[in-house]
């Protein structure tokens, strides 16, 4: 989504000399990769569309994967982005040449490219994280990650193990439970789950959405519904208590068995890990062919999963619903800035940037959805659009000054990150849980501490006083 947004705004600004490298065979990013049964957005549809490209034809309040992908394809076609795209092209290296003021790029196939500006729009949900379980790769049956779902896989009559109980699992499990012979769900940590207020849109609602004032009003309402959720992420507040009570009520309303409910009740504050939305995950766990396993896995054999109590569950397929590596935004790409400094070394403790967009020592490198610009309560597009606008302003600033490159000053970036971590310390994300929001050392590297309107306002006012130009 961020790459498309960048491409559209370049076209709208009259800039046509750009290329979009895509390692997959088609556009779509996470919405091309994640095709598992039940894949659906957890942000209301009309908010999960660009402000400059509303979609009045969403079928549901929360859009399914195929509709989001179709929307992205229409956006690409409307602004003629496909000629700028190179598919099946992964970036292997990016080295900045200070003397010439450009980036020397190398693809995985060894193809050399040169660019004045490099924009990283890989997204934090692009690299599947596989569990570190002995024997996993030696499993003799079907082995899949939810982000690499095999569309030819037929679960009918099979015994299936699902490892993980977070966002993709709560969508997948209800979809396949009625097809499989037996479903074993391996839970390491329970998650907070709240109802998903989903329904189909009626034809008259879609017609109304084509009227611009109504469409803007609906988006405005959805915006503030999501923004309100941020109130529940400040530890110890009345809103946080209400949100947690609401989630507990949802659990006990759908799970009558006290023993099962106890296994599903988190022991950390709501929001510390990603809050999940589902109306049918809890009821699915009560089916006779579904088992929730909370005993740790010790190894995987060729035909089964062995837990710490010595039990072996024979399965035909293992599905890893274990999320993504959100802390290595550029994966294995060898990125080197001024003086040959490696970005991997700069980010060895945790990824960090200035406003999530620029990194000291790496001229003309811009990040979209970079460090500390993730959100636990609303649409990521509300962060992407102001970031793209800032990149375009940076290009205009370079042209105005007659400079070849710009880079944020180390002191500017350091002061920004000190303030960020201080603000995050009082939030629920600093709570006693492990999540993809933070590193093993406890640094919160993914989440922005405030509201989306605060970030947008900051980016609109942000200048280039704290930058060096060359």
Per-position pLDDT tens, the chain of length 470: 999 999 999 999 999 999 999 999 999 999 999 999 999 999 999 999 999 999 999 999 999 999 999 999 999 999 999 999 999 999 999 999 999 999 999 999 999 999 999 999 988 778 888 999 999 999 999 999 999 999 999 999 999 999 999 999 999 999 999 999 999 999 999 999 999 999 999 999 999 999 999 999 999 999 999 999 888 888 788 888 999 999 999 999 999 999 999 999 999 999 999 999 999 999 999 999 999 999 999 999 999 999 999 999 999 999 999 988 877 777 789 999 999 999 999 998 889 999 999 999 999 999 999 999 999 899 999 999 999 999 999 999 999 999 999 999 999 999 999 999 999 988 888 888 888 888 888 899 999 999 999 999 999 999 999 999 99
Same domain, 63 and 174: no
Same domain, 116 and 155: no
pTM of whole model > 0.75?
yes
In-domain check, residue 20: yes
Residues 51 and 114 occupy one common structural domain: no
CATH number at residue 398: 3.50.50.60
Tell me, yes or no, whether 70 and 115 share the same domain. Answer: no
Spatial contact of 82 and 74, defined as CB atoms under 8 Å apart: no
Q: How far apart are CA 246 and CA 325, in angstroms?
A: 30
Domain identity same for 347 and 302: no
Nearest-CA neighbor of 56 among 224, 222, 211? 211
* Number of structural domains the chain divides into: 3
Residues 171 and 297 in one domain: yes
Same domain, 194 and 111: no
Query: DSSP states of 99-135 as a string?
Result: TTTEEEEEETT--EEEES-EEE---TTSSB-----TT
Is residue 58 situated within a structural domain? yes
Q: Looking at the domain assignment, is residue 420 inside a domain? A: yes
Q: Are residue 72 and residue 163 in the same domain, yes or no?
A: no
Q: What is the pLDDT of residue 354?
A: 98
Q: Going edge to edge, which strands form the sheet with 317-320? A: 142-145, 317-320, 159-163, 182-186, 290-293
Interacting residues of 405 by C-beta distance below 8 A, sequence separation 6+: 96, 98, 101, 363, 364, 398, 469, 470
**Residue 131 forms part of a structural domain:** no
Token look-up 């290009």 returns 395
* Cβ atoms of residues 244 and 270 within 8 Å: yes
In b/e form, how buried is each residue of 250-279, taking b as 16+ CB within 10 angstroms? bbeebbeeeeebeebebebbbbbbbbbbbb
Range of the domain at 61: 1-89
Same domain, yes or no: 106 and 85 = no
Phi, psi of 215 (to 5 degrees): -60, -40
């Amino acid at each position: 989504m961020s790459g498309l947004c960048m491409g559209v705004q370049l076209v709208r600004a009259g800039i046509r000399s750009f290329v979009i490298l895509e390692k997959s065979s088609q556009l779509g990013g996470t919405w091309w990769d994640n095709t598992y049964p039940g894949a659906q957005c957890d942000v209301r549809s009309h908010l999960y569309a660009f402000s400059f490209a509303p979609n009045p034809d969403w079928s549901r309040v929360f859009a399914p994967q195929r509709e989001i992908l179709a929307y992205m394809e229409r956006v690409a076609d409307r602004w003629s982005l496909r000629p700028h795209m190179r598919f099946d092209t992964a970036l292997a290296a990016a080295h900045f040449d200070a003397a010439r003021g450009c980036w020397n790029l190398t693809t995985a196939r060894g193809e050399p490219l040169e660019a004045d500006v490099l924009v990283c729009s890989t997204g934090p949900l692009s690299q599947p994280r596989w569990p570190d379980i002995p024997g996993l790769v030696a499993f003799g049956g079907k082995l899949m990650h939810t982000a690499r779902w095999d569309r030819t896989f037929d679960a009918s009559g099979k015994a299936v193990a699902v490892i993980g109980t977070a966002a993709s699992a709560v969508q997948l499990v209800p979809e396949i439970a009625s097809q499989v012979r037996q479903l074993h769900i391996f839970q390491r940590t329970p998650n907070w789950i709240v109802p998903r207020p989903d329904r189909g849109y009626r034809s008259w609602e879609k017609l109304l959405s084509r009227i611009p004032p109504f469409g803007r009003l609906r988006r405005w309402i959805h915006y503030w519904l999501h923004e309100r959720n941020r109130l529940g992420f400040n530890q110890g507040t009345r809103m946080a208590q209400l949100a947690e009570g609401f989630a507990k009520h949802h659990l006990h309303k759908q799970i009558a068995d006290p023993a099962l409910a106890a296994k599903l009740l988190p022991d950390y504050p709501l929001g510390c890990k990603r809050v999940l939305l589902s109306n049918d995950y809890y009821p699915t766990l009560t089916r006779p062919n579904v088992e929730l396993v909370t005993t740790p896995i010790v190894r995987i054999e060729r035909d089964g999963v062995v837990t710490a109590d010595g039990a072996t569950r024979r399965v035909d397929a293992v599905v890893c619903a274990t999320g993504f590596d959100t802390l290595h935004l550029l994966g294995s790409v060898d990125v080197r800035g001024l003086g040959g400094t490696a970005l991997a070394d700069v980010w060895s403790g945790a990824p960090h940037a200035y406003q999530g967009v620029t990194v000291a020592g790496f001229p003309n490198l811009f990040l979209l959805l970079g460090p500390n610009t993730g959100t636990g309560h609303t649409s990521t597009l509300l962060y992407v659009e102001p970031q793209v606008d800032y990149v375009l302003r940076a290009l205009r600033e370079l042209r105005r000054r007659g400079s070849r490159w710009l880079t944020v000053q180390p002191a500017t970036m350091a002061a920004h990150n000190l303030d960020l971590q201080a603000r995050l310390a009082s939030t629920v994300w600093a709570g006693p849980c492990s999540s993809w929001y933070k590193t093993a050392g406890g640094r919160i590297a993914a989440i922005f501490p405030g509201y989306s309107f605060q970030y947008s306002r900051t980016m609109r006012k942000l200048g280039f006083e704290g930058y060096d130009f060359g």
